[in-house]
Amino acid sequence: MNFGDVIKSSVMEGFSYADLSTTKILVTLGITFAIAVYIFFVYKLVTKSAFYFKSFNISMAIISVVTAGIILAMQSSIVISLGMVGALSIVRFRTAIKDPMDLLFLFWSIGTGIICGAGLYKVAIILAVIITVGILILDMLPVRISPYLLIVNADSKAAEEEILECAKKLGAMYKLKSKNITKSGMDLILEVRTKKEKELVNAISEMKGITAVSLLAHDGEVKN
C-alpha cells in the first residue's frame, strides 16, 4: 500500500453513514434552533432600522438550522460533501445588505450553524454570549449625533451675516458647505450641530428676505 492509498483510506474512513445517528441529528438541530431563536430576539432588540422586517429576521435565524443540516450531511458522506461544495460554489445572493448590523447577524447565524453542525455546542453558546455582551457594551458608548444640513433660500445676499449670527446665538456649531448667489437671490447650505433645531429654523425663517428654510438629518453617526 503506497502513501496515496493510505490517504484515500483515511479519508474514506472519516465519512461513514453509521457515525450519523438520529439522536445526533436531533440534538444538533435542536440546539442550533434554540440558539437561532436567541439570535432572533437579540436582533429584534438591538436593530435600529426605521422599518423592522420580521421575514428577514426569521430567514436569518433559520439559516443557522439549514447550515447545521448541511454540515451534518457533509460529514456523513464524501460524495455529498463534494456535491455540496460544487452546489454552493455556484450560488449567488443578490439581496443588498444596507445595514452593517444585518451583515453581522448573518455571519453570526451562519457561523452558529457551522459550529453546531461540527458538534461544538459549547463554542456556539459561549460565542452567542460574548457577541451579545459586545453589542450591548459598544452600543452604549457615547457618540454625537451627526450634524444637520441647514438649507436657506434668500432673495438677497445681505442676509448671510444675519443667518450666521443667528446660528452663533443659538449655540450651533456650523460650517459653510455651499454658497450659491444668483441675480434672484442666494442659497446657503450650512452643516450645523445644535440642540435647538426648532428655534434655529424658526428664527431664520422670520428674518427679512428669507424665502425658505429646510433642515435635513440622517441616521448616521460621527465619532467624538
Does 12 or 132 have the greater pLDDT score? 132
> What mean pLDDT, rounded, does the chain reach?
76
**By percentage, how much of the chain surpasses pLDDT 70?**
72
Examine the domain organization and report whether 69 and 125 are in the same domain. Answer: yes
Examine the domain organization and report whether 94 and 169 are in the same domain. Answer: no
| CATH number of the domain bearing residue 153 | 3.30.70.60
Is it the case that residue 61 has pLDDT exceeding 60?
yes
Tens of pLDDT, residue by residue over 135-154, are 888 877 766 656 777 788 88
Is it the case that residue 14 has pLDDT exceeding 80?
no
pLDDT of residue 141: 73
Examine the domain organization and report whether 95 and 177 are in the same domain. Answer: no
Examine the domain organization and report whether 14 and 121 are in the same domain. Answer: yes
Examine the domain organization and report whether 27 and 125 are in the same domain. Answer: yes
pLDDT of residue 77: 63
CA separation (Å) from 125 to 13, 157, 207, 212? 30, 64, 61, 56
Examine the domain organization and report whether 96 and 201 are in the same domain. Answer: no
Is it the case that residue 219 has pLDDT exceeding 80?
no
Does 19 or 160 have the greater pLDDT score? 160
Examine the domain organization and report whether 32 and 95 are in the same domain. Answer: yes
Is it the case that residue 89 has pLDDT exceeding 60?
no
Stretch among 68-82, 109-123, 127-141, 157-171 having the lowest mean pLDDT: 68-82
pLDDT of residue 143: 60
Segments forming the whole domain that contains residue 83:
3-140
Say how many domains are in the chain.
Answer: 2
Examine the domain organization and report whether 166 and 135 are in the same domain. Answer: no
Q: What is the pTM of this model?
A: 0.59
